[in-house]
Structure 1
Amino acid sequence: MQSINGEEQLVIGGDLNGHVGSALDGYPRNHGGQGYGTRNDEGNRALDFAEAHDLVLANTFFKKRPSHLITYASGGRSTQIDYWLVKRDKLKTVTNTKVIPSDNIAPQHRILVMDIKMDIGQRHRPPTTGQQRIKWWRMKECKDQLRVAFNQIDVNTNRPANAIWEDLAGQLCTAATEALGLTKPGKHFIDKQIWWWNEEVQLAVKEKKLAFKKWRQTLTDLDYQHYRNCKSAAKRVVAAVKLAQYDQLYVELDTPEDVDPFRYCCQSGDNRLCSLYHQRRPINRCTYYRPPFFAFLIGDPHVTTLDNAAYTFNGLGEYTVLEAFGENITFTMQARTAIAGVIGVSKATSFVAIVAQENGSAKVEWILKNNITIILVDGDVANITDSRVYFNKTSVWRSENSSITASFPSGISVNVTASYGALNFITMLPESFINMTQGLLGVFNKDPTDDFRAANGTVLPFNGTDVPSESRIYYEFGVTWQITANTSLFSYNTSDGESWHTYNNNTFVPLFYEDLINQTSPERLAFVNASCGGQKDCIFDVLSTNDTNFGMATKNSAGDFGSQGQALQNFPPNITTGGRLFTSLNQTVSVQINAKDPNNDTIVFSMATNSSGLTVTPDGNLTWSPRSSKPAFDVVSASDGKASSALLLNLTLCNCSAHSTCLYNQTTLSMNSSDGSSFQVAGCLCDPGYAGAYCTDDYNACVDSPCHPGVTCTDQPAPSLGFSCGPCPVGLTGNRQQVFR
């Protein structure tokens, strides 16, 4: 079993003469819990065998009626003793198992069948270039030749249009072929779209190829030396360019410039890039993790600032929600409001459009239309799916709940959801923008008392607990952030007469919460309060719009965003134990994995491994008991139920004999898994008298022929390093190593 390659498909079937029963007690990885009868000792031995080799009994994983489980029936007794065994990681290839009661191959035994999908593989054919075609990509470098060729085209126009077009197309292709050349079909395809490839490398490689062709034609020493010089120069250029790109990558991995570094580094096929990614953003530790800071706006505009101050602002028009400034960074987000409710006559408003842009990147707009979010990118409608789409350094994608998120190069992201007549959105900022923001989301400095800073710099007094009245917030803070026609980022449909003036009504005065409460009867207020469960924003929206559905949508959004905020503020556990383990074959090593949770949540440990010899308890007791020299890989996870961190194990196995010392720092084999964990085999320092890779061989002291030629050499058994020489040849004397006449 141990000699079978891990990539091979292993299938074992037959009469194991044991009852594994219907319960999976003690063998959750090997028994599917869908067996028959009661387990006996022979069944335990079968399950022990399966556990030792990480196999599963496939016909215990499919729920069947008893007649499709019983494999042996005699004398009124029915049992299940025939099984199919496959490797656990191949269980997904098994689609069905069952007994066919009517087709007996013996008086008592019944046929047990299994349906399995097996990839027989196909011979890999290296990709080749397609059919012959014109090298249109050379148009820029050959524009002069192409211009001359096109000027020589002469088309007779005194013919039908189809004939003129066919003649013109034919002459264009002929001229382009002469000027640009044709590709050679059927050649091995070489993809040169390498992440570090640039024009400098291309020119150096091209010069080397031209020099090689010339040398092959002339075969002179001078041309050969020129080719060697070009080849060396190309190598130097490639090395310099790659080094510069790696240096730039080091910088980008320490900044939010790259919106998806893992995809570029660890899915590029370049192991060095992936190692660099894990070096700069190690998965083993969460010590330096800092959650993003967030603010959200929902319903009949209820705002929670970046410093967690909550207020309501019912302005009608377009306003600056957030302006963020950093080193060479300017981010602006603006929002548009409209009369809230389906009737459109209430004295309250809701968000119906949002626009955000960072300098040097795309402008993204979210427009509410019939409770559906329309996305504009740089003024044009964009179709957004669940896959990230990149627009000039900005990525946009749709989530499962139909919310649409835009992530900007600075690390700022905006997530927008349409909900019953309003756009609700949550904005997340990195900690680097502290003291760098202004607008309706306040001054981000972890101090809510100065969040109500007007556009002119004056601050509405706030003690951090008792929010100012809505009327003061409206007049002294909110309306000061109304944008102008010159500062607006919104796209207007000018063909329909739409402009900034269409959406900005300076005569509108909202109905404030205090007035709503005073104008509402106690009975109505009690009913609304019960419907909203006491949630203030919901109560306000129901009273201001006279629409219970609108208020409930606000309540649900507040709950969803609150949950998102709690999840964002949760720190994952920080694993403080190192990930290196080493032991010898058939020995056991244990280590306690320790982790700290900044939120004091309960930590539970688990693991993902390919070895049955590796286990971890929920409280972090890790044990490694290797029973074979098969490479083992393992990732230990520490979870607080909301977030997790991982410890990539570095396992070193010693397979040396008892006549040696393990050299754990001098490995003879090293392997890396795709998950980042690694496995090594330790070197062996042999005791005197022993040799071989694992010190299992007796050192042969006669290997260097220490005896005189013609004299027999006999090696002495280990641990001796000695040898003995046979008698001297006839007529000669000596010590058998040196012989004299």
Structure 2
Amino acid sequence: MSSGDPVVQTLDGGKYDFNGHGEYVFLTDGKNFEIQARTEYVVPGNKDATYFSAFALLDKTKKTSHEKIELHYDREADDIKFVRNGTYNSKCNASSMLVHGRPYPCELPIRYNCVVIPGGGKIIIQNCGFGSYIKQLEFGTDNFLSVQIIRNSRANITNITGLVGHREDGFYIMRNNTKVSENAPALSFFQLGESWSLRSESESVFMYKQTGENFTIYNKHHSRPEFLEDKLGNLTALFKTFTAENISLFNKTCRNYWNNEPNNQCLLAIARTRDYNRGLDVMQEANATRYKWEILHNEAPNVSSDFPKNITVNINSTFTINLTEYVTDNNTCPEKLVFDVVTNLTKEEYSIDSGIFTWNVGTGLREIDTGIKFIVYDKFNASSVFSFSINYCGCSEVSFCSFPKSMDHPSDTVVKASCVCPAYASGKYCEVVKDVCPKYNCYNNVCNVMVYKSKPSWPCGPCPEGREHSMLGYNQTCTGNVE
């Protein structure tokens, strides 16, 4: 995107600052179309900073007559005024109303090559002579006039030249075919931009009667900005007329969020225009561009191979795992990762807090087959899914569970133990305690199914010390004398 305090972005992604004042060949194939740009001073009298104030488009594909479009930025209204073939059309301004919530062609029926779609602070232009190279041009307003070129990725752009023309092996191309390195000093980029200034009025696409001005005003008195880039290492010199508090604020504001490095473009914008808001605009665009890049290059969180493949749990126990110990992400710190749980267990059985999953194992898996799946999201909402298989003991006591036998309807992620009940218990999960004491004649009538469940004398209590126990049918006898 090429925008105010001119940041020029070429068709193939190169970027450079250019603060020339005048009219320039912005983009052309030398045959079917040409786009020209006009720049003016951000602050009258300050020759160090300019902004795009107008664009003119020439479509040469018509045999009978060429089609001309002009877009003039109304800085006071933060609007773009549209002119076709010398006639102003207020219905095509960027501030035009959206139709059913979206931009819509302002001239119907469409009688021209160039289709103009305004609204919502933008003007979109499609087709024209650039149709084979560019899908559309999007002119926008946000304190300054900007243009975004949506390129046809399959098109060969080696013959596209101008301020935003193609690069060759990392070099920008001047009008005289001189090459400028991507790492060249600011003066070289200024000379690069100036090489594309208009040479004569016959070369201009602009129709000056719209502004009441003439070719000479913009093209015969080019100025040269001070190259403040050389002072970037010394903020006191760069902002020599500002207070220490101002300089501290500028230094804090002009920092890239992704690496905390100084953003030179932001610093230069403030220094050139003496307007703090221009720096904020630069940072807003830089951060938005970086954010889009991070999303494009983002990878989903990585789950460690050490994450347990299966677990064994039983009812009335608690299972806890810190998921953050098993997940890493290149762009999101562990405490910023967001975790979610997908399961049919009731919310009463589990919780997740800051990546720590706690499962108060209950009877939920007795009657249903459901796994437990985890989803982790990074700050860009990219996600990874992971889970473990579950060996579930749903019997009333752990000792009753028998693995690897499963219940009647096991799932792929849950293996349920079968319950082998002892003599004192019954039911599907051995949950029913048998009250058999009425059937037994125990010594001294000491009988308790649960208390003596592990004793050989069950359900009766053990014989007194020194006496031998015997059980005949339902009758307990304790023989021998107690000394």
TM value normalised by structure 1? 0.33
Structure having the higher helix fraction is 1
- Bigger RCO of structures 1 and 2 (CA < 8 A, at least 6 apart): 2
